[in-house]
Amino acid sequence: MARHIDYGTAAGRWAGLGPYYAMFPTGFADRVVREHTQAGDLVLDPFAGRGTAIFSAATQGRAGVGIEISPVGFVYAKAKLAAAEHDEVAHRVQEIGRVATAARYVESARALPPFFHRCFAAPVRRFLLAARDRLDWRRSATDRTAMAILLVYLHGNEGAALSNQMRQTKSMSPDYAIRWWKEHNARPPQVDPVDFLTSRLAWRYAKGTPECESSTVYFGNSMTVLPRIAARMARGDLRRAKLLLRRRPTTESRTITMISGCVSGCLAALPMPQGTETGSAANLSIVRITRPSSARCLPALSGYCDEMPRSTSERTRASSPAKQRLLSSERHSPQRIL
């Protein structure tokens, strides 16, 4: 289901923002949104990941509401839905670069575990520590966009990222990574993180920012957030969903039960015959993203969803140690929202 992404448009440049574990292709999301909704409809994704479906809805004249418990996914999704102005983000990156030269970050960078020394050069380690302290990605659009760009280029192929050679989307054991780097005599690139990120920002913003319908992604647990969304729909403060994307069979029965009050019909009792891709109840279309073991339901997704995490802890471990540490400040923990 892969498609050619048009990097000549703002939507094309922002659609793929953020390498993410078990992400599904943008072309699939575009097709589902077009086939099952009309302009002005609401798309609901309780496990939004990096916001592929919500972004697709927002750029096709629909509204989207997503929920994501992983801070990495939340940062990616929220940033591309509402990116800050380029000049503001570039200025913030420069500010972090200046702050990173402070003695506290110099000392802290030296005290990091061996993995980080093998993964990042000293200037990058200092920059990451300063970014972790200073970027309020939970509340500030500017800081969130800067953090999203930083996360995109945190790991990758040699010369294309801030780190030593490392996969983007799947966490490697720190001990394994250190052994591999030693065996291959691989060293972290000596790059200026401010110059590096500034050039990447210039490319990302070269076509502007996408025009998105009113859409958002909430940072938190779906089991907590969904009842509040349902209450808003019941009061008429939020339109009812016309498309729901659901995953993770271990939790979806509870999730479907919780949101049954916000849609027409009883979703918990909705029949989903084996081998079918979609089902519908009243005015709601339901699309099920399956694991490869159920690939006959969505053959085009086979290979994109292999090893999809089954639990919150697995989703967290899917991020690299550096990404986890970068977003681990207590002040950013999921709070009550809505």
Is residue 43 within 8 A of residue 246, CB to CB? The reply is: no
Is residue 298 within 8 A of residue 307, CB to CB? The reply is: no
Q: Which pLDDT belongs to residue 29?
A: 86
68 forms beta bridges with 219
For the record, the structure tokens of 196 come out as: 């590096």
Q: Which pLDDT belongs to residue 296?
A: 26
Distance CA(46)–CA(244), nearest Å, equals 8
Q: Which domains does the chain have, with CATH numbers?
A: 10-83+210-329 (3.40.50), 86-204 (no CATH)
Q: Which pLDDT belongs to residue 22?
A: 59
Place of tokens 């999301």: 29
Q: Which pLDDT belongs to residue 164?
A: 93
φ/ψ (deg, to 5) at 32:
-65, -45
Place of tokens 């929202």: 337
The structure's pTM equals: 0.79
Q: Which pLDDT belongs to residue 156?
A: 87
Amino acid letter, residue 12: G
Distance CA(312)–CA(47), nearest Å, equals 11
Amino acid letter, residue 22: A
Q: What is the pLDDT of residues 105-149, one digit of tens each?
A: 999 999 999 999 999 999 999 999 999 999 999 999 999 999 999
Is residue 9 within 8 A of residue 178, CB to CB? The reply is: no
Q: Which pLDDT belongs to residue 209?
A: 94
Q: What are the distances in angstroms from CA 113 to CA 45, 125, 174, 191?
A: 37, 11, 10, 20
Is residue 134 within 8 A of residue 306, CB to CB? The reply is: no
For the record, the structure tokens of 27 come out as: 């072309």
Distance CA(216)–CA(285), nearest Å, equals 20
Largest CA distance in the chain: 62
Q: Which pLDDT belongs to residue 307?
A: 30
Q: Is 307 helix (H, G, I), strand (E, B) or coil?
A: coil
Q: Which pLDDT belongs to residue 244?
A: 84
For the record, the structure tokens of 132 come out as: 């972790």
Distance CA(206)–CA(214), nearest Å, equals 23
Closest alpha carbon to 45 in 281, 324, 243, 321: 243
Place of tokens 């609401």: 42
Q: Which pLDDT belongs to residue 128?
A: 96
CB atoms within 10 A of CB 205: 20
Is residue 308 within 8 A of residue 22, CB to CB? The reply is: yes
φ/ψ (deg, to 5) at 244:
-120, 130
Q: Give the CA radius of gyration of the chain.
A: 20
Strands of the chain (E only): list them: 42-45, 63-68, 216-219, 241-246, 278-281, 284-288
Q: Which pLDDT belongs to residue 5?
A: 65
List of the chain residues with pLDDT < 70 = 1-5, 21-23, 168-171, 246-321, 324, 328-338
